[in-house]
Structure formats: structure tokens, C-alpha cells
Structure 1
Amino acid sequence: MKKIEKREKQLAMKPNLSHLFSGLAGGLLVLGASYLLPAKSSVQAVEIKTETVAQLPKESPKEQLPKAQEELGQLAHNMGGARAPIDFSAAAEKVMPAVVNVTSISRFKPRSRREEVYMELFGRPRDNQSTGSGVIIGKQGYIVTNNHVIEGATEIEVTLYDKRKYKAELVGTDPSTDLAVLKIKAPNLPSVELSNSDETKIGEWVLAVGNPFDLNFTVTAGIVSAKGRNINILGNRKASIESFIQTDAAVNPGNSGGALVNAEGKLVGINTAIATPTGTYAGYSFAVPINLVKKVVGDLMEYGEVHRAYLGVMIMDVDSDFAKQEGLFVSQGVFVSELIDGGAAKDAGIKKGDVIVGIDGQNVRSVNELQEKVGSRDPGDTVRVKVKRGKKELVLNMKLKE
């Protein structure tokens, strides 16, 4: 976030020399319990217990109220927010003004004189137009969305919550994470507060805000169902990183690029895909975690491209079968099968056969999680890597390389 704020200040002092783009090519990628009366013997036990309680001094209603409020507050905290999750209005009101509708237009361009003549005789083909969502992340007019929302677009138009419309400039894209950054020139822009997705917990309440089926600024609720999901939607793109936050909040075509926020209205991720046999919501949606978004967006704003950090290793997931086969003393983590000469891992002292189980105090259980945590760092950053080497556990300092 510091990188984003720093870049905003730098750009605020520079004239804007970029030309405008617009459009969209893409759409979504995959996009009370009740109790029965107990037996008689149980009732008798309760009667005996009641006699003992009756001897204790009774609390007045005023004395009971603070305890009840404290217990209710703790319950709300455990369920993902500072207030009871039955009312998400405060979080929705906080984030909705920072969510935008992204309209992408792809205009047909003749590739030869023959095509030009054909168009003169029979007319120009209709423009392709589709919509998605985006999130304002800075006062300077920066908007994050999905790469597939604007891929191939010749024009991009952004509609704000207050219905103002602006042509958007394409700042940069990162197909390996399916993220893109746009910029508009507009006064008095709201922006959303960013969270730390490493602290997001499974079971925590979240809201998805976007524009499904052109139903602008729709809010749906659900919980975080899983973290570190790889659903193989980015294909064989170079250095692709898939470590999605999975949620059951309803997400549909048009939600791509929209906000996933926690119960406090802080941005947790960017909604990107759904797993479905029908093309519409079927209970599983996926968002790019905000810590990875911060890194990608910061680089695109500063350099126009992403400078990615690498470990310099060949790796694979560890499970109980693999651990038994290799004689490992851990049943999950990331197995180092090969080291690249001159790579960060080899320089740090990691050896072939080590199992990486943590980065900077965060547990690492899979290749997806490791890629996310390394992908959110910059080349030159030093991280503390926890590895299992036989029965020993080591912590090594590693300086990441590009």
C-alpha cells in the first residue's frame, strides 16, 4: 500500500502523457437447533442443581446487561466483524461508492483493403460490448479490475456509483494474476480501505459487491470457504499465480473485477471467477487475495509491468503418500525437488529434499500458498523461510531475486 500511495504522489506532480483506451473483451473466466425434553432422571439432576444455584446472590438486570453485551460482542467478533453479522449495511455503505461499472468496447478494425471495401459495401460489423466491475483504490483515480474484463478492448468506459461516466486509460495488465489497472480523471473520488488477506480467516463473513447481469452495485453475502485455491483457470500463462480466496457469496457474470470485503468494509480480494456447470453461480466463487493485488497494482502503477520475485526452485506439494514414499517427517508443505544455480533458495542454504513449511511466520501447506506469499514480495526483499530437513526444523533468511 505504501508503494501505491508513493506512486500516487509522484504522478500527482507529473503531467498525464498517456493516451486513452477503452472497451472489454472477456466476461467471466469460468466466473436454529431445537432441544427435546430430557429424560426424567436428567430433570431431577437439574432440580438438584437449581437448589445450589438458588443460594447464590441474584444479579439485577442492570448487572446482567454488560455481561450479555460482552458475550454478544465476542460472538460477533468470532464470526468475522466488530458488530453482529446479521446487519451488513455499514460495510455495504462504506464500499459501494468505491465500486464501479466497467464497460469494454471492442471495435472491428479492417486488416486489409479487401475488408475495407467489404465494409463499405455491406456495413461495419457491430462492436462487441461487455461489462464487468472495478474498485477505486486511490484518490488519483486508479481502479483495479480483472485483465479478462478489459482484454482486447479498444475503449473502456467507467460508470461511478453516482452515475458519472468517464473514459478510462489502461495503465497496465498482469495476465499471470488476471489483474489490470485503469485510471480516470475525476474529482472527489471515494476509495476503499485495504485489509491484510493473510489475516482473513476461513469462516469469516464477506460481501461481494459488483454488477452481475448489469444489475449495478449489487451486494451479496457469504463466508470465506477456503484459502489458497488453485482452480487452473489461468492455463499455461507464464508465472501464473493461483491462490484464490474461495467464498460462497453469490458471484455471477459481471461481478468480475468487483470487491470482496470483510464485515468492516475493508477490501479482502478482487472477485475473479466462479466454478459452475451452468455459467452462473453454483455456490463457489473465487477472489484474488488483496495482498497479492497490492503488489501487482503497485508495480503496474510505478513501472507499467510487474517485477516478480522468484525462489529459484522446482517444487511440488507434499501429502501423506508422497511423504511416505520419500521418507519425510511432515505430511504437508512444499517439497524442493531441484535448485537453480544462483537462485535465491540455493544462496540461502536450502537443499534438495527440504520441505518448505512457512514464510515469515505464516504456515505454507501447498505450492499455491507459497507462490502467493512470494508473489506478494518484491525482488530484493528478505524473507524468513521455515524448512523441514529430515527431523530438523530450520529457519533461513532468503533474499528474493528477480
Structure 2
Amino acid sequence: MTSEREPGRDDWRPWDQASTSDEVTQEVPQQQPEPAWAALPAPSAQGAAPAAAQQAFATQQGPTTHPAPTTQLSPWGAPVAPAPAAPPEAPAPARRGPGWGALIGVSLAVALVSGLLGGLLGAALTDGESFGSTGSAAGSAPSVGAGATTRPDGSVANIAARTTPSVVTLRVEGGGGTGTGSGWVYDERGHIVTNNHVVASAADGGEITVVLANGQQVPATIVGRDASYDLAVVKVDRTDLDPLELGRSADVVVGDQVIAVGAPLGLDSTVTSGIVSALNRPVTPGAADDQAFINAIQTDAAINPGNSGGPLLDMQGRVIGVNSAIARAPGSEISGQSGNIGVGFAIPSDQVATTVEQLITTGKAVHPIIGVFLDSTYDGEGVRIADEGPSGQPAVAPDGPADEAGLRAGDVVIAFEGRPVSDDGELVVLIRSRTVGDSVTLTIMRGGAQRDVTMVLQGSAD
């Protein structure tokens, strides 16, 4: 992203779905106020990020190239010269007919040749099943590893053995290129959760292949996706896959041990561990027209390109987040795709549970809104409501939550539920972290006077 940000703010940027060795940059659109009900505040025209800030990137693995296959040598290293032809034998004396010895010899020869052909055919069929087949509903489901019984409950080894069979790799081909990401089994109906940016390039006629933990490959279709929460659901024609248990991210505290599972750099069934290093971290990866708003769980568990969509687990093996982005220091350049630096971000499971059910039911998600346009050019304390919206629209939507609470154009929001805010994206992230119908309190400044207002969040699918 090439947009400038105010000093003291983070400059978040994603990896593109179809990434190449060059960094993807983003042009800054003309500054204009954008609607909070559309959840897309206009890109900020503020200063550069401080040295302590981080930049977030979607962690889908980009295209990989494979070397051309090499010619395989014979086991002996060189072709074997043909054996010299045997000298012709003298013709056998005439006989009245084949004797018993000849008949037995012929029978043995036929049996030997038949056995040899049968063995070669069986070997060919076995090889074909091992290397050329595609998994289907008739294939066997992945099974747990030995660590599930030989390691103590609650250990990383035990949790990894029990959960990796439910974590998959997604290979995506679409108009925007190819790439890989991760996902996990959500229910017994074949629904698999991943990130929107993992499957976005296949949304218009592309192909998605789900690779199970045992190597079986199954085609998948998109059930629903939501760019604002960076979540998507795909479905495979399987009913024998074991879903992961969903935990409560509201119960997570800083310092909790966590485990990340996925396919970083295309290396499937990779397990890393760490702790929760921060909570409620506002992260807004994505381009201005496809930006996600995540009130993220921050972790130091190693997360790399390709981990996107994989689960972040607690020490009971429950999903408490969906890995979505990693960070790098501002000002550093990407050569290809950089790796883990100990700062990764996951979408909290409480948000995942709500959004995924909406995607499965209707194919789209509903976002909570307050119904205002925000002024992205404002650089003072808090977040200012614009004087008017695009094309002369009112800055405060009539009959929206903010309107009913008495907010006006020019009001400055300085806190959300007691938490200070100083960036329009931060305010939208905090709103999006709540649920439609929630009652929230905003602290506003008007004419030098400060007061609290309460409103009930409405829903929008925009």
C-alpha cells in the first residue's frame, strides 16, 4: 500500500492472492468520506507509520514453480547390452506328437507367463492408485496420529495428532493466478472454513482443490465469502471428515499458549506453537476496495505465507481463531514473500462463528453499522463525522443508529465503549467486532463539550 498514514498509526498491507516476486502496491483513491455502514472508510491521507508499527499481510502462499522432471536412470546406471543370440540348434527328429513331458513343459510356461503378466498388471494398477488418483467420497478419511495415544492430553504432540487430520490445504487456480492456503473442517456436511483472500481469485470460474491430510484431493466449491471479515466457506462432497471444535475467543487472555496448524510455504500439516501476545489488535489488511476489518488475536506462533485460513488452537485443541495476516516492519521491502517475524494475526473465533453460519445459510455476511460517513482527512484527536457523504448524501444516515442517538455531522468520536480511538479504520474494526443488535456507547466531542451516547447497532450486507 502506498497510502500515507498519520504518525503513530499502523500501515497494514496484504499479500495479493496471486502474488508474484514483486510487491503489490495500491494507488490512493481521491479522498472522500466513506460510510461506516459500508464498513469502508476512505484511505487515510495522514503521515507515515512510526518505526514501532507493523504492516500486516495476508498469508496465502503465492505461486510456486516446479523444476522440469529429470530423466530417470536405470537402477544400474546404464543400459544393459543385449545378450548375444544363441547359436541355432539342429532340427529335432520327427515325432508322432507331443509327449507327456512336452505337454507339462508347455503348461508350466503358460502358467509362468500368466503369473508374470498378472503381477505386472497388479503393480501398474497399484501405482496408478497411489500416484494418479483423486480422492472422492469413497476414499478413506484422514486418521489421527500416534501422538494422540502416546503423548499426554494437553501436550502439543497430542493436540497436533488429534487435529491435523481436520486441517486441509487449498490449491486455488483462477483468473488472478494460482496459490495455496489452509483451511479446516467446520462440520460433518463437508463445509471448510478459510480466508476470503485465499479463494477470491477462484470466485469467477476458477478451481479449488482441497488436499486432505492423507494426501487425497477433492474438488471444492465456494459456499459464501466476505471480504470485510476476510472469511470464506467452501464445500467438498464428503461427510466422513471430523470437524474441529470451536472455542470461545472471549475467554482468551494474553499469555495463553496456542498452536497454529496449516500449510506454510506449501508444507502441509505444519504445526507451530507460541502464546497470545496481544488481544483486540485492529488490523485492516487489503486494498481500499477489498479491505478487511479484523479485531485480531495477535500471536508469536510462527505464521508464514500459506498459513492463511488455518486454525489457531488453544491447549484443548479448540479453534480460537483463523490465521489471516502476518506483519513486517514499515519501510522494509518485500522480495518475493517474507516470512514469520513473530507477529501474526488471527480472526477471533466468536466472530468466525457468527460469520460462517451466515455464509452457510445465505452466502453472505451481515455487518454491524452505526450509519455515518467518516472524514478521512481529519488529523485531530478522535475520529470526525464528515460534513456530508459522497454525491451530497447526508453524513448521518436518516433513521440509522447514530441518527437516532442524536449524532450530527462534524461530531468527533473520541472513544468506543470507553476505549480511545484515533483512526477511522480503528473505529470501524471495533464496530465490526460486535454483533447486530448490540447496544454500544460512544464518547463524542461537540463544541468543546464531551458526552456519552448509546445506540443499537443495525446490520448491513454491504
Shorter-chain TM range is: 0.5 to 0.7
Q: C-alpha displacement at 1:322, in angstroms?
A: 5.3
* 8 Å CA contact retained: 1:101, 1:134: yes
Residue number in structure 1 paired with 2:456: 398
Match of 2:169 in 1: 101
Question: The residue matched to 2:192 in structure 1 has which SS?
Answer: strand
Q: In 1, distance between residues paired with 2:375 and 2:277?
A: 24
Name the CA distance, whole Å, in 2 between partners of 1:224 and 1:92. Answer: 18
For the residues of structure 1 that align with 2:397 and 2:453, how far apart are their CA atoms? 21
Cα deviation, residue 241, structure 1: 1.1
Relative distance call for 1:197 and 1:237 in structure 2 (3 A) is farther
Q: 1:197 to 1:369 in 2, by over 3 A?
A: farther
User: How many angstroms apart in 1 are the aligned matches of 2:324 and 2:237?
Assistant: 25
Paired residue secondary structure (1:152):
helix
5+ residue gaps, structure 1, are 1-23, 32-83, 109-127, 324-333
Which of 399, 402, 406 is the equivalent residue of 1:345?
A: 402
Picking from 398, 423, 432, the partner of 1:375 is: 432
SS in 1 for 2:275: strand
Contact 1:274 1:285 in 2 (8 A): yes
Q: Determine if the alignment matches structure 1 residue 87 to structure 2 residue 87.
A: no
Partner of 1:161: 213
Q: CA deviation at 1:393?
A: 7.0
CA distance in 1, matches of 2:312, 2:420: 23
1:42-61 mapped onto 2 (5 Å cutoff): none
Unmatched runs of 5 consecutive residues or more in structure 2: 1-15, 21-56, 60-151, 329-333, 387-394
Provide TM-score, normalisation by structure 1.
0.62
1:158/1:168 contact within 8 Å kept:
yes
Q: SS of the counterpart of 2:356?
A: helix
- Of structures 1 and 2, the one with the larger relative CO (CA 8 A, separation 6+) is 2
Deviation at 1:398, TM superposition (A): 1.6
Equivalent of 1:170 in 194, 216, 222: 222
Letter in 1 for 2:263: N
Distance 1:207-1:368 versus aligned 2 partners, 3 A rule = farther
- Partner of residue 189, structure 2: 140
Distance of aligned partners of 1:85 and 1:368 in 2 relative to their CA distance in 1, 3 Å threshold: farther
Q: Is the CA contact 2:444–2:452 (under 8 Å) kept in the aligned structure 1? A: yes
Q: Is 1:26 the counterpart of 2:18 in the alignment?
A: yes
Per the alignment, residue 372 of structure 2 pairs with: 313
Q: What RMSD, in angstroms, separates the aligned Cα atoms of the two structures?
A: 3.4
Match of 2:135 in 1: none
1:281 corresponding residue in structure 2: 340
Q: 1:368 to 1:196 in 2, by over 3 A?
A: farther
Q: How does 1:4-19 map to 2 (within 5 A)?
A: none
Equivalent residue for 2:357, pick from 298, 304, 319: 298
Structure 1 CA distance for aligned equivalents of residues 350 and 360 of structure 2: 16
Rounded to whole Å, the distance in 2 between the matches of 1:104 and 1:98 is 19
SS in 2 for 1:220: strand
Shift in alpha-carbon separation, 1:105–1:268, aligned structure 2, 3 A: same
Aligned-partner SS, 1:268: strand
Percent identity, aligned pairs only, is 32
Aligned-residue offset at 1:27? 6.0
After superposition, the Cα gap between the structure-2 partners of 1:350 and 1:132, relative to the gap in structure 1 and judged at 3 Å, is same
Return closer, same or farther for 1:103/1:280 CA change in 2, 3 Å cut-off.
Answer: same
**1:364 and 1:301, CA in 2 relative to 1: closer, same or farther beyond 3 A?**
farther
| Partner Cα distance (1:147, 1:384) in 2 | 28
Query: Which residue identity lines up with residue 173 of structure 2 in the other structure?
Result: I
Residues 368, 194 of structure 1: alpha-carbon distance in 2 compared, 3 angstrom cutoff: farther
Letter in 2 for 1:374: I
CA distance in 2 between partners of 1:30 and 1:138 (Å) = 25
- For 1:25 and 1:294, the matched residues in 2 are separated by 24
Q: Does 1:215 align with 2:267?
A: yes
Counterpart-to-counterpart distance in 2, 1:240 and 1:214: 24
Q: Match of 2:368, SS?
A: coil
* Alpha-carbon spacing, 1:85–1:190, altered in 2? closer, same or farther (3 Å): closer
CA shift in 2, pair 1:151/1:350, >3 Å: same
State TM-score, norm by structure 2.
Answer: 0.55
Cα offset for 1:191?
1.0
Kindly indicate which of the two structures has a greater share of residues assigned to helix: 1
Contact kept in structure 1, 2:171 and 2:179, CA below 8 Å: yes
The C-alpha deviation readout for 1:311-348, integer Å capped at 9, x for no partner, is: 1135589xxx955xxxxxxxxxx645356142212213
Contact 2:405 2:455 in 1 (8 A): yes
